[in-house]
Structure 1
Amino acid sequence: MTQHTHESHPQIYARLKRAHGHLAKVIDMLNDQAPCTDIAQQLFAVEKAITNAKRALIHDHIDHCLSPANGAKETDVDDFKAITKYL
């Protein structure tokens, strides 16, 4: 497998590190028997951070690997990007 790095990877890495921190907080909160609403709020933050990281990665892949410069039609790429919000 070849090395495949994009300019967005450091930002995606940072998002995932934040998600990791939120998840660690959730685990601590469970051990400390924190209120369920507080735990749910932290779980929501984990979920959003991962979703945003995944979306950024997919959009970056579309922009760099499925770009019109690589033979894709720009309207096809735009349509594909639009549907990724449902991932």
Structure 2
Amino acid sequence: MELDSEAMKPVLNRIKRAQGQLAGVVRMLEDGRDCEDVVTQLAAVSKALDRAGFAIVANGLQQCVLEGGTDGLDTKKMEKLFLSLA
């Protein structure tokens, strides 16, 4: 199943922001920044990526329902993807 590129624009933006945050974490580590600051930023990156993943799975599930993918195959794939994020 192909993802709707229009619906994925906000997800792509979120992932790009997370990419920038991750680069910031690397710089923080290289600069010897405080552990608490590094972990806080790392948690923000992790949360952003989790939200992006859930948005992708939610979009896929929505497409599956709208396109009548009731044979169970696509739904099972999406369920497996959803659980891989948990």
> Which residue identity is paired with 2:21?
H
In the alignment of these two chains, the number of paired residues is 77
* Structure 1 alignment gaps of length 5 or more: none
Aligned counterparts, 1:38-77, within 5 A: 38-64=37-63, 66-67=64-65, 69-72=67-70
SS in 1 for 2:33: coil
How far apart in 1 are the matches of 2:8 and 2:67? 21
Structure with the bigger RCO (C-alpha within 8 Å, sep 6+) is 2
Residue type matched to 1:67 in 2? V
TM-score (normalizing by structure 2): 0.76
State the TM-score, normalizing by the size of structure 1: 0.75
Matched residues, percent identical? Answer: 30
Q: 1:30 to 1:68 in 2, by over 3 A?
A: same
**Gap regions ≥5 residues in structure 2:** none
Structure 1 runs (4+) greater than 6 angstroms displaced: none
The RMSD of aligned alpha carbons is: 2.5
